Amino acid sequence: FKCPDDYGFYPHSHSCDKYWKCDGGTAELKTCGNGLAFDATDSKFLTENCDYLHNVECGDRTGLEPAITAPHCPRLYGIFADEAKCDVFWNCWNGEASRYQCSPGLAYDREARVCMWADQVPECKVEGGFSCPAPGELANTGSFSRHAHPDDCRKYYICLEGVAREYGCPIGTVFKIGDSDGSGNCEDPEDVPGW
């Protein structure tokens, strides 16, 4: 590689995770961390920036170093879905995995890389989950109704147009079932009978 200027950072022609550092006109081949790629968006080539693979448009630079794995980390750097739990994902930095959990009712979407409603995440369809009451089954529910979770007093479901979404009460509160009309609210445990 011949440096076009005395100083700068230039993408490798074939590898997305490699780049050239030019200093005094001398080129040095550099490699981003495993799971990172060189961000070549600086048109002046003055920025040395390696970013998560999913944040970098590699184009024709398809080559990558072989994956180096660690527990919960398919590569040393990146954000990865948990293989067993839909609501858990891992942020890996140099092979150290930090666990994150989506709020109740949400699941980690591998493509969008955010927590979304679980019913909108294809890999996370819950079988045998809560079923909303049929339309007209509850009086005066309006457009939605609230229902207690069968196993966790902090959680509840909101049914909106027949789709159940799990919610959670703030820490220190529990879901208090309302009348039989699909109402209810998060309350102090002392104000909830039978708790």
Q: Is the pTM of this model over 0.75?
A: no
57-87 tens-digit pLDDT: 999 999 999 999 999 999 999 999 998 888 8
Give dist(CA 36, CA 151) in Å, integer.
41
38-59 tens-digit pLDDT: 999 999 999 999 999 999 999 9
DSSP type of residue 74: S
pLDDT at 127: 47
Q: Are 10 and 49 in contact (CB under 8 A)?
A: no
Structure tokens at 125: 């369809």
How far from each other are the two terminal CA atoms of the chain, in whole angstroms?
A: 71
Give dist(CA 130, CA 142) in Å, integer.
19
For each of the domains in the chain, give its residue range(s) and CATH number, in order of start.
8-55 (no CATH), 78-122 (2.170.140.10), 144-191 (no CATH)
pLDDT at 138: 66
What is the full per-residue pLDDT of the chain (195 aa) written as tens digits? 999 999 999 999 999 999 999 999 999 999 999 999 999 999 999 999 999 999 999 999 999 999 999 999 999 999 999 988 888 999 999 999 999 999 877 889 999 999 998 878 877 765 446 777 776 666 565 677 888 888 888 888 888 777 788 888 888 999 988 766 667 888 898 888 766
Find residue 157's DSSP bridge partners.
147, 166
Find residue 73's DSSP bridge partners.
70
